[in-house]
Structure 1
Amino acid sequence: MKIALLSDIHSNLRALDACMDHAAAQGAQRFAVLGDLVGYGAQPAQVVRRMRELAQDGAIVLQGNHDAMAVAPLVQAGKMDATGAAWTRSQLAPADLDFLAGLPLTAIDGAVFLVHASADAPQRWLYVDSGHRAEASLHAACTDTRVRYVFGGHVHQQTLYFRGASQKLLRFEPTAGATIPLPPHRRWIATVGSVGQPRDGNTDAMYAMFDAARAELTFHRVAYDHLAAAADVRAAGLPEDFAKRLEQGL
C-alpha cells in the first residue's frame, strides 16, 4: 500500500492539485492529510471541499492548528494570523466549518501514527523541530506497541529522525526523490513538509510517499505555479506577506 502523506496545504489549491497529480503518477493508493488544510492561502473553500471528497473516499484527514483557528479564531493570535483566520472563516460554509471542527488530532493506521504536530501533546501544536522534540513525540506515539513510524507536518520542512544502535535519535536530511528504506526493527519519525507553503527557500511544494509493503519512504518536491498562487493571495486582499512567502519559499 502506497500512502501519499500531505500536510500544511494552507488553502493553496494550485499546490494541492500538483501534489495530488504527482502522487497519483507515483502510484499512490491512499491519501493521508496531516492538518492545516486552511490558513494563509486564497482558496480555503475549494481545498476543504476537496478534502471532504477525499475523506469520503477513505482518506485520513487530520486537524491542524490553522483549521482549529478557522473554526474558533484565537484572540491572542498574531495580527496577521488572526486576520487570515477571520477571512478564512468568512469563506467557509457551515458544513465546511463542521468538517474542520470534527477532524481528529491523530490517527493510527497499522504501524503508522499520524499527527499534525507532536504526538505527546497534539492539542498544544508543538513543533517537532529538534531531536528533543522528535524524541518526545516518538516516545508518546510508541506507547502503542504496533507503531513503528510517526509522520507529521507543522514545521514546513522535510526531516527524518531514527533511533540508531546507540538508542540515540539521529537526524537525517532527505534528498527529494530518493527512496529511503525504513526497516521496522527501528522506529522512525518524519515531518513531511508543506504542500502549500514551503519555508526552506525552495518554492516547490512538498509531500512524501510511504510504501508500507516495502517499508520505504520517499520525500518529493513538486513544481507548481507559485507566482499565480501569490497573485491569488493578493487578489483576495490577504496580507502581502502571505504572497511574498509563496514567491520566496520562506
Structure 2
Amino acid sequence: MLLAVLTDLHANREALEACLAHAQERSAEQYAFLGDLVGYGADPGWVIDTVSDYVQRGAYVLMGNHDLGVLQDERKDMNPNARYVVEWTRQNLNPQQLEFIQALPMQFEIDQCLFVHANAWAPERWEYVDGNMEAARSMRATNAQITFCGHVHTPSLYNMNHAGKVGTFTPVSELSVPLSKLRRWLVQPGSVGQPRDGNPAACYALFDTQQLELTFFRVPYDNETASQKVLAAGLPASLARRLIQGG
C-alpha cells in the first residue's frame, strides 16, 4: 500500500490542494493526516471538510495541539499569535466541524507503524522531537518499528540501531529511502501548511508499506494567494510572511 502522510496542514487550502493532487498523481492508495489541521491559516473550515471527506473514504487523522486549542478556553502554552488565530478559528467553524475536531484521537497504529502528532512518549503534552536525544526517547517509548510524527514543521528522518545509537538523515525530495528492518525509524514529513526550513514549498511523504520505502516531497503551491488570504482575514502579518519566506 502506498500511504501519503501529511501533517501540520494549518488551514492552508492552497498547500493542501497541491499536496493531495501530487499524491494522487503518484497513485497514493491511503492517507494519514497527523494533526494541526487548523491554526495560522485562513481556510480552517475548508481544510476540515476536506480531511473529513478523506476520512469517510478510509483515511486516518489525528488531533494536533492547534486543533485541541480550538476546543479549549485557556491556551497558556501558545504564543500570542497562535492564541489569536485559534480563537478566530473557533469563531469561523460550524458545530459539525468542531465536533469533528473533538472526536480526533491522539495516536493510531498501522501494522508496525505508530502515528502521533508530536512524540510517542507523551502525545498529549506536545513536546517536540527536534534532535537525536528526543528522537531516541520517542523511539524507545514504543514497540513500533517506524514512528511518524509532525509538530516540528521541518522534514527529518532519524534511525536507531540495536545498540541504541541514533543517526539523522536530512531528506532529499523525491529520493526514496529504504527503511531497514534492522533499525528503528522516526519520520517527520514536514509541514504541508507552514514549512519552517527556509523553503516555502509544502512538505509531505509517501510510504510504501510493503517495500518499506519512504519518499519525501516538496511541492510548490500558490503561497502568494495563501498569504494574501491570511492578511485579508485580519490575521497577524507575520504569519503571512512565513508562507512566503518558508520560516
| Range of TM-score over shorter length | over 0.9
Cα distance in structure 1, aligned partners of 2:198 and 2:36? 20
Residue of structure 1 equivalent to 2:17: 17
SS of the equivalent of 2:206 reads strand
Checking the alignment, whether the CA contact within 8 Å between 2:3 and 2:209 is kept in structure 1 is: yes
Offset at residue 75 of structure 1 (A) = 4.1
Residue of structure 2 equivalent to 1:107: 108
Residue of structure 1 equivalent to 2:72: 72
Cα distance in structure 2, aligned partners of 1:100 and 1:53? 14
Equivalent positions of 1:210-225 (< 5 A) are 210-225=207-222
SS of the equivalent of 1:141 reads coil
Checking the alignment, whether the CA contact within 8 Å between 1:152 and 1:190 is kept in structure 2 is: yes
Cα distance in structure 1, aligned partners of 2:177 and 2:128? 23
Checking the alignment, whether the CA contact within 8 Å between 1:201 and 1:249 is kept in structure 2 is: yes
Cα distance in structure 1, aligned partners of 2:3 and 2:50? 17
Sequence identity, in percent?
A: 43
Checking the alignment, whether the CA contact within 8 Å between 2:69 and 2:75 is kept in structure 1 is: no
Checking the alignment, whether the CA contact within 8 Å between 1:73 and 1:82 is kept in structure 2 is: no
Output the TM-score relative to the length of structure 1: 0.96
Residue of structure 2 equivalent to 1:49: 49
Cα distance in structure 1, aligned partners of 2:26 and 2:139? 28
Residue of structure 2 equivalent to 1:85: 86
Cα distance in structure 1, aligned partners of 2:73 and 2:169? 36
Structure 1's 47 and 74: CA in aligned 2 closer, same or farther, altered over 3 A? same
Checking the alignment, whether the CA contact within 8 Å between 1:134 and 1:161 is kept in structure 2 is: yes
Cα distance in structure 1, aligned partners of 2:12 and 2:142? 30
SS of the equivalent of 1:221 reads strand
Residue of structure 1 equivalent to 2:245: 248
SS of the equivalent of 2:218 reads strand
Residue of structure 2 equivalent to 1:118: 119
Cα distance in structure 2, aligned partners of 1:133 and 1:75? 24
Cα distance in structure 2, aligned partners of 1:210 and 1:190? 10
Output the TM-score relative to the length of structure 2: 0.97
Residue of structure 1 equivalent to 2:166: 169
SS of the equivalent of 2:109 reads strand
Q: Give the counterpart letter for 1:241 in structure 2.
A: S
Cα distance in structure 2, aligned partners of 1:78 and 1:215? 38
Cα distance in structure 1, aligned partners of 2:217 and 2:74? 33
Offset at residue 185 of structure 1 (A) = 2.5
Q: Which ranges in structure 2 are unaligned for 5 or more consecutive residues?
A: none
Residue of structure 2 equivalent to 1:39: 39
